[in-house]
Amino acid sequence: MNEELDKINKINLDLRCPVCHQGNLYMIYKVTKIPYFGGIVTMTIRCDKCSLKISDVIAISNKGDLPTQQKRLTFKNNMGDLIVLSAGSKIEIPEIGIEVYVSSESGGEITTIEGVLLDIKDKVISLMRNASKEDKAVLSGILKKITNELRDPSGKLSVVVTDENQRSAIIPNELWAKRAEKEREAMSVKISTEEIKRTGKKVIKDYLNR
Ligand SMILES: [Zn+2]
């Protein structure tokens, strides 16, 4: 059985809850299919007895395993590329010494290259408020580089996504835009319920190992 587009589903994971050891785990999820790429699974796993709740966003490629590391330069054409950040992944902008971890508490995130820069800009601004004089000078240098790149993207910075679990992805804007086209129905994006169930079980396993 293959998954229906953008429909909210619920399945039983056939797993005993690792926290209360009494309830069963079920998963509520939605699959967003992307032609020539695969899909994005947005999921929440819950126990039917206790308060356990695990949320995550997971990219699944049709072409097999996703790389553990992906990179995009901040060129104008790349600014709208979609970034799926699964829990446990890391974003870096090495040119300005930025490193951000996506926690399992936040439950993953879907953003763009531009969105990442805007987000980091906000973080830098809030850090500057209580920074020492020296730190403020460093932060304002970083802020200037980010602001310039947002205003006039030149490819000077790179956004590097690292995910040892291979569930994060940078998806070209063109593919994401195609999602809205009618031809998507004709394209064979195959993600089976079994695969989603397997992925859910892996999420639980990794959550417990963190
Ligand atoms: Zn439980």
Q: Both tokens of residue 93?
A: 């902008």
Distance 10 CA to ligand 1 centre (A): 17
Predicted pLDDT at 184: 53
Predicted pLDDT at 179: 62
Selection from 13, 3, 2, 6 nearest residue 203 by Cα = 13
Q: Both tokens of residue 83?
A: 């970034």
3-state SS, residue 194: helix
Q: Which residues contact 163 (CB under 8 A, 6 or more apart)?
A: 66, 68, 69, 85, 86, 88, 89, 90
Selection from 2, 1, 22, 23 nearest residue 12 by Cα = 23
Distance 32 CA to ligand 1 centre (A): 28
Average pLDDT over residues 123-143: 94
Alpha-carbon distance 117 to 178, whole Å?
24
CATH number belonging to domain 8-209: 2.60.120.1040
**pLDDT 10s digits, 65-76:** 999 999 999 999
Identity of the residue numbered 53: K
Q: Are 87 and 104 in contact (CB under 8 A)?
A: yes
Domain ranges of the chain: 8-209
Distance 46 CA to ligand 1 centre (A): 8
Distance 11 CA to ligand 1 centre (A): 16
Q: Which conformational region is residue 14 in: left (phi greater than 0), alpha (psi within -120 to 50 degrees), or beta?
A: left
Distance 102 CA to ligand 1 centre (A): 24
With cut-offs at 50, 70 and 90, classify the pLDDT of residue 4.
Answer: low
